[in-house]
Amino acid sequence: MAKGTKISWTHHTANFWWGCQKVDAGCKNCYAESLSNRYGKKIWGHPATSEREYKKAIWSDILRWDEQAGKDGVRRRVFISSMADFLEDHPQVNEWRRDAITLLAGLKNLDVLMLTKRPENAEKFLGVWYYPFKWPEHVWFGASVSEQESFDKRIGALVAVPSKVHYLSAEPLLGRIEMDLRGANYGINHDTYSEMVDWVIVGGESQPGCRPMDIEWARDIVEQCRRDGIAVFVKQLGGHPNPRHEIEDLPKDLQIREFPK
């Protein structure tokens, strides 16, 4: 759980459980796995051979954050599963996920940022939000991509989800990505989904052993977002031991931190 967070595009992070399995090159230097290992937790790996850890306090914490945002008269953002993947197919988390879905749907003053490397599992595990087409408007749905291969693999499944806001997190950015952000090539009915991708987050790796990010890759994404009228948020350029997290540390042309409308 975390009321405050160093993740600059959210106000809170919330984890109903910890643990996951790596699925692609973007996972190589997973910060969540590194943090778990530091605490001596063996919760990373294939579902058949590794457990996930239930987090008890967050269930009441997130309700308090929602209540406080209402009292303050503001909407705040909560990023869920920063230490897991909400859509991982692990039998241990099925009941936890069902309970979390009910809790998240009932929030009134928080925008929920759900981010996954498994958007193809959305209908399987979030089916209650599909039928009869009642996806909560405050739940934003995003997919993590790192290079062209993961973008091409996930974009179709992302935009097929009936969420009001679709977004991409290109972090860690490991290569140039040519993005079709309006979904013209995915056969989606624009009468049903008004926008294909509403927001793109860009960032490099920043932990020990981080892989370099070419600044031109970030500029390419910004240019594509500008072309298609998409909000873009440049989080960081990466680098260890001095990652550039603050907006003033970025080149002037990349000091962009927008949110979807």
Residue 59 has pLDDT above 90, yes or no: yes
Higher model confidence: residue 128 or residue 247?
Answer: 128
Local structure of 159: helix, strand or coil: helix
User: What is the distance between the alpha carbons of residues 198 and 138, in angstroms, rounded to a whole number?
Assistant: 14
Least confident window among 53-67, 148-162, 230-244: 230-244
Closest of 140, 137, 201, 196 to residue 168, by C-alpha? 201
Question: What pTM does this model have?
Answer: 0.91
User: What is the distance between the alpha carbons of residues 109 and 67, in angstroms, rounded to a whole number?
Assistant: 7
pLDDT class for 1, splitting at 50, 70, 90? very low
Taking only the tens place, the pLDDT of each residue in 61-118 is 999 999 999 999 999 999 999 999 999 999 999 999 999 999 999 999 999 999 999 9
- CB-based burial of residue 94 (10 Å sphere; 0-12 exposed, 13-18 middle, 19+ buried)? exposed
- Give the percent of the chain with pLDDT over 70: 90
Higher model confidence: residue 15 or residue 25?
Answer: 15
Contact call for residues 144 and 117 (beta carbons, < 8 A): yes
Question: What average pLDDT does the structure give for the chain?
Answer: 90
